Structure 1
Amino acid sequence: MATVIYRIRGKSSIYISLTMGRGIKLETNTGFNVNPRDWSKITSKPKQNSETNKKTFAALSKLETFIYDEVNNAQGQGQLIDLFWLKDNINKCFNRVKKTDQNLMVNHIQYIIDNANTKKIKGSNKVGLSQNRVTGYKTFKKVVEEYQKELKKKIHFHDINKPFVDRFTNWLMKKKNYSTNYAGKILDNLKTVCLDAEKLEIKVNPYAKQITGFKEQNSERLIVTLSFEELEQIRTANLETEAQENARKWLLLGCEIGQRAGDLLRLTPDNLRYKGNRIYIDIEQQKTGKAVTVGIIGPHVIEIVENNFPYPISQQKLNKHIKQVCKLAKLEEKIEGKKFDKKTGRKKTDTYFKWQLITSHTFRRSFATNYYKKIPTAVLIGITGHSKESMFLEYINRREDKDLNADLFMQFYETIHQDKEPQLKVIKNASNQ
């Protein structure tokens, strides 16, 4: 059973002591003061011998009742009751937390959003977060605000201890039913925001540095790609509308240059560059800030970029139209995949027609998968913008081929030396020895 007692510490500070049994005793400053001569040992509160002392007495009585109620609520919901909890509820009782308090998680997320244009990008000399990253922070803020409603309390940076992270993870996975990858990404964002706050000398729970996100195991991932043969089916399919024709152009171009959908759909003829009889597309990737150049080789794609460049379209509309394009191309193989379920608001794993699973993200994966082992991985990474080979291989769900580099070395070695004349060796005759 919980017990609340007040006592004086120092010269005049009134402290609250919350005893929870099993040796658990929490104590912190209430923010009130009293002259020790006006302290009643009988009530453990100020004597009501002045207007100020009467107000303090009433405030402490209010806090006592509030803490008892919140202890019952917290125990009923399985919340951790610790010193941070006690301090937070004292502030909550007297509405002491200001909206500008940067110790609140949501306020610092908003601070990042508000200062996105001047925020330095890690690992570069550039400033300004991409629009996608800003959108990610806005989405993360909504998740935190929803979890605050679940907890019925505002989340401070000092709350981010291991029990908090464990409960938050369980809420994301079990109650919200988020995918493994999305829940892991939210935890990555949680850690990023905590570390960013710490740089501004905001006090953050030390456990925040130990937060780790997670991803699906490779064996659990269902990756959909379009083979060269299927791309030819799409290229030669009879379509019905101009919107479908336009979507097909974006699809064929996307599968040839291996860029993210956001970067692909920003392209215009101004991105083209000619060098002799070759065509290049120069791109600055929004997510990484990397400058990437891709050479256009396929005759049908050269025709698209030179004479029939696709007109702008939103990613949402593109995803709608390319499904119809792939349906008309008769991509009717039944495969396992994940598709958005309107009833649950989540992706559902099931068996679908392949055309139902094609999205703009399929383009980039198809490029990486189709050219893997046909072109050196280092060249492909330079085009896709992955920072490491391990990330590229994970992206296409392939294991590292330990023989690949050795095979390439031997091929290059043979090419280098194939035109050299063989050198004569003098071999001693055994009979002359």
Structure 2
Amino acid sequence: MASINYRLKKGKSEWSSIYLRFKQGNQFDTEVSTGLECPVNRWSVSKQEVLSTFELNYKEVNKKLDDLKNYIKSEYASTKTDDLTVIINNQWLKLKVDLFFNRQDISIEEKQKIFFADFMDNFIEQSKTKRRRSGDPIKPRTIQHYNTTLNKIISFEKYYNTKLKIIEIDLNFHTKFIDYLEEREKLNNNTIGGYIDVIKMICNNAKNKGLRISHDINTNEFYTPKNKTKDIYLKEEEVNMIFEHKFDADYLDNARDWFVIGLRTGLRISDFLQLKKENIEDGFIFKTTLKTDFPVIIPIHDQVKSILEKRSGEFPREISDQKFNEYIKIVAEKSGLIEKVEGARIDEVEIIENGKKQIIHRKKQGKYPKFELISSHICRRSFATNLYGKLDTLTIMKITGHSTEKQFLSYIKITPREYAEKLKALWEKQKDDV
């Protein structure tokens, strides 16, 4: 069985280089410098490590020596499954040590076996042509999320002047990465949690390909940060207020009509803003959703019918997502949705980047006038919430296109107080019926 040992190559100096010796019987016996040094009198031959000292970060050196040993063993084990015969000699060992410490230009394939960003970049490229078990391709938005996560990793590496190895995605990284995203990027827990989930998935993919990952990845301590969101929805009477309000400005009237269509169909903005006359048949709206490629059939609500009749059977004039989100805040304000409620609003945040002040935009929890918290997401959320308890969950899910009840219930935003009010109303109705 192959063995790995370290020794000091002593000279006249009080510091000596640490050498790695790799040996297996009569097959090979080779040795190279690790490039690491330690004080001569602080090296333990029996423990194969640097003893406690103030002269260097001995814990970090010992960790690198331990990781290097495991890496060499793993690389040697992989040669046994290669089709080509690999000669283990001084040149092979030096390449692996240099590769581990990233000391020279190495092949892309070798980098992908060690460095997290390189492995992830390759994973993303493969995902563009990969198919799920169902046979469906991976959605562009999923690929985009992977790329955003990779960009955060690269920014983190740049900030700390490091290049993360796959094996270094551990609890120490977890703590520093979350701190970095919170303090430097001003991101909230739910956004950070999305990045952590991708990182865990990438690491487990690396493990499935025979690469070494940290045992920390699948422990409870490597958690996904989350915070309770206070997303708002529009009640039936508020939707009616918006529908009934008269707007003098044509652009607000047009935006209001799209808003009501979104609220009464439960579709995502990417779907309801693309509705055409051809999507209507026999009093129903037929639409294959863009995100899930799921066909949905929705009966036409009386308010939507009124909007179509007003426009000679046509849907409102085309509008961009950006303008829609901008205009519906004005629509909601003019319709009277001005009470202050708890929620998250996009605010300007000042950060220091490379010694210069920069303005970024981040969600901030607080109490704001309701119209300021309104965006396109409220359409789908309000549709599901207002129907919940009036129709069975499965029927609503078939319309909204949610694949799981857990996913669907995350859209329901009825507060405990509102549940209590529902129960109170039921009891009062029962009393009146007696």
- Give TM-score, length-normalised by structure 2: 0.69
Find the partner of 2:314 among 304, 308, 315.
308
**1:125 aligned residue:** 135
Is this contact kept in 1: 2:277–2:314, CA < 8 A?
Answer: no
- Change in CA separation of 1:81 and 1:166 when aligned onto 2, cut-off 3 Å: farther
- 1:26-41 aligned within 5 A: none
Find the partner of 2:112 among 78, 98, 102.
102
Matched, 1:114 2:125: yes
**CA offset at residue 308 of structure 1?**
3.2
Aligned residue identity for 1:14: V
Find the partner of 2:397 among 373, 381, 387.
381
Range with greater deviation from structure 2 (113-122 or 322-331): 113-122
Task: Find the aligned partners of 1:264 and 1:73 in 2 and give their Cα distance.
Answer: 61
Deviations 1:195-237 (A, max 9, x none): 33344444433443444424224xxx21211111111111122
Range with greater deviation from structure 2 (205-214 or 244-253): 205-214
- 1:39-50 aligned within 5 A: none
**1:330 aligned residue:** 336
Task: Find the aligned partners of 1:256 and 1:197 in 2 and give their Cα distance.
Answer: 45
**1:236 aligned residue:** 244
Deviations 1:271-292 (A, max 9, x none): 3333xxx313222351x44333
Task: Find the aligned partners of 2:265 and 2:162 in 1 and give their Cα distance.
Answer: 48
Find the partner of 1:366 among 378, 382, 403.
382
**CA offset at residue 146 of structure 1?**
0.5
Is this contact kept in 2: 1:102–1:202, CA < 8 A?
Answer: no
- Change in CA separation of 1:164 and 1:317 when aligned onto 2, cut-off 3 Å: same
Find the partner of 2:273 among 248, 265, 276.
265
- 1:26-425 aligned within 5 A: 83-84=66-67, 90-91=98-99, 92=101, 94-99=103-108, 101-103=111-113, 104-121=115-132, 124-127=134-137, 129-210=138-219, 211-217=222-228, 221-274=229-282, 278-286=283-291, 288-296=292-300, 298-305=301-308, 307-344=313-350, 345-397=361-413
Is this contact kept in 2: 1:223–1:396, CA < 8 A?
Answer: no
Task: Find the aligned partners of 1:215 and 1:240 in 2 and give their Cα distance.
Answer: 43
Is this contact kept in 2: 1:19–1:25, CA < 8 A?
Answer: no
**1:31 aligned residue:** none
Deviations 1:87-120 (A, max 9, x none): 8995446224445532332233333443444221
Is this contact kept in 2: 1:18–1:25, CA < 8 A?
Answer: no
Task: Find the aligned partners of 2:244 and 2:196 in 1 and give their Cα distance.
Answer: 45
Is this contact kept in 1: 2:234–2:382, CA < 8 A?
Answer: yes
SS in 1 for 2:112: coil
Greater Rg by CA: 1
- Change in CA separation of 1:317 and 1:131 when aligned onto 2, cut-off 3 Å: farther
Identity rate, percent: 26
Number of residue-to-residue matches in the alignment: 349
Is this contact kept in 1: 2:337–2:370, CA < 8 A?
Answer: yes
Aligned residue identity for 1:302: K
Aligned residue identity for 1:295: P
- Change in CA separation of 1:161 and 1:7 when aligned onto 2, cut-off 3 Å: closer
**CA offset at residue 130 of structure 1?**
1.9
Is this contact kept in 2: 1:338–1:349, CA < 8 A?
Answer: yes
Is this contact kept in 2: 1:271–1:283, CA < 8 A?
Answer: no
**CA offset at residue 325 of structure 1?**
1.1
Deviations 1:16-60 (A, max 9, x none): 366697978569xxxxxxxxxxxxxxxxxxxxxxxxxxxxxxxxx
Aligned residue identity for 2:156: Y
**CA offset at residue 299 of structure 1?**
1.6
- Change in CA separation of 1:3 and 1:118 when aligned onto 2, cut-off 3 Å: same
Is this contact kept in 2: 1:333–1:353, CA < 8 A?
Answer: yes
SS in 2 for 1:6: strand
SS in 1 for 2:286: strand
Range with greater deviation from structure 2 (384-393 or 188-197): 384-393
Query: Where does structure 2 lack aligned partners over 5 or more consecutive residues?
Result: 1-13, 24-28, 72-95, 351-360, 420-434
Task: Find the aligned partners of 2:249 and 2:202 in 1 and give their Cα distance.
Answer: 46
SS in 1 for 2:368: strand
Task: Find the aligned partners of 1:207 and 1:151 in 2 and give their Cα distance.
Answer: 21
- Change in CA separation of 1:96 and 1:301 when aligned onto 2, cut-off 3 Å: same
- Change in CA separation of 1:26 and 1:99 when aligned onto 2, cut-off 3 Å: farther
- Change in CA separation of 1:12 and 1:105 when aligned onto 2, cut-off 3 Å: closer
- Give TM-score, length-normalised by structure 1: 0.69
Aligned residue identity for 2:174: V
Is this contact kept in 1: 2:20–2:32, CA < 8 A?
Answer: yes
Query: Where does structure 1 lack aligned partners over 5 or more consecutive residues?
Result: 28-67, 404-433
Is this contact kept in 1: 2:276–2:314, CA < 8 A?
Answer: no
